[in-house]
Amino acid sequence: MGDEAVETDVQGQPSWELSGASDGFERLWTPHRMVYLQGEDKPADDQAGLQCPFCRAPTKDDVTGLVVARGETAFVVMNLYPYNTGHVMVCPYRHVSLYPDLTAEETAEIADLTKTAMRVLAAVSGCQGFNVGMNQGAVAGAGIAAHLHQHIVPRWGGDANFLPVIGRTKALSELLADTRARLSEAWPSPS
């Protein structure tokens, strides 16, 4: 190691020696989140097209695109980086960034798909509540600001603790593909 400074813990042990050592903390490693944190798969610009994940998802088959349901002007898709198991988004097919830019038909269908998603999520997962919302613009927290999307996050009593806040980690109980399959199977047929 030469003369380089070595980071140590409070007992003076090199930090690299702590790997696997019992220190009273449980660790949940989520290396799959690193691609999100590093911005992988984010569009290079705000243009419509296959670089936008919300333009790209409906061009794939439902399983590959994680699409739960399709409407005439909007669709429901699993969040690839979910806050909770069952986290879906309702997106217009059209590449628009702000809610006032939606047509009356898009607005109505997004509302209907949101209500249906909430009913299906409650029936399939037994969730006790929801967070529903849109972050419009990067300054408001939109990870992909150029293509409007409404989040529907199912919630259960006690589902949040300090793990997400301090550890920036979320434990998810089911794989995305399995959740998508259960939601899609429970989705009502179009009338």
Amino acid type, 111: A
Q: What element of type H or E holds 105?
A: helix 104-125
- Give, for all 191 residues of the chain, the pLDDT tens digit: 455 555 555 566 555 455 555 555 555 556 666 665 666 667 777 778 788 999 999 999 999 999 999 999 999 999 988 888 999 999 999 999 999 999 999 999 999 999 999 999 999 999 999 999 999 988 888 888 999 999 999 998 877 655 555 556 666 778 888 889 989 999 998 87
Match domain 27-186 to its CATH number in 3.50.50.60, 3.40.50.800, 3.10.580.10, 3.30.428.10: 3.30.428.10
Catalytic residue among 87, 147, 149, 151: 149
SS3 of residue 166 by DSSP: helix
pLDDT of residue 186: 92
CA atoms within 13 A on the CB side of 175: 4
| DSSP bridge partners of 133 | 151
Q: What does the alpha-carbon distance between residue 67 and residue 79 come to, in Å, rounded to a whole number?
A: 10
Give yes or no: 149 in active site: yes
* R_g of the chain, CA atoms, integer Å: 20
pLDDT of residue 1: 44
Q: How many CB atoms lie within 10 A of CB 99?
A: 13
Domain ranges of the chain: 27-186
Beta strands in the chain (DSSP E): 67-70, 74-78, 88-92, 129-133, 150-155
Q: What does the alpha-carbon distance between residue 48 and residue 51 come to, in Å, rounded to a whole number?
A: 8
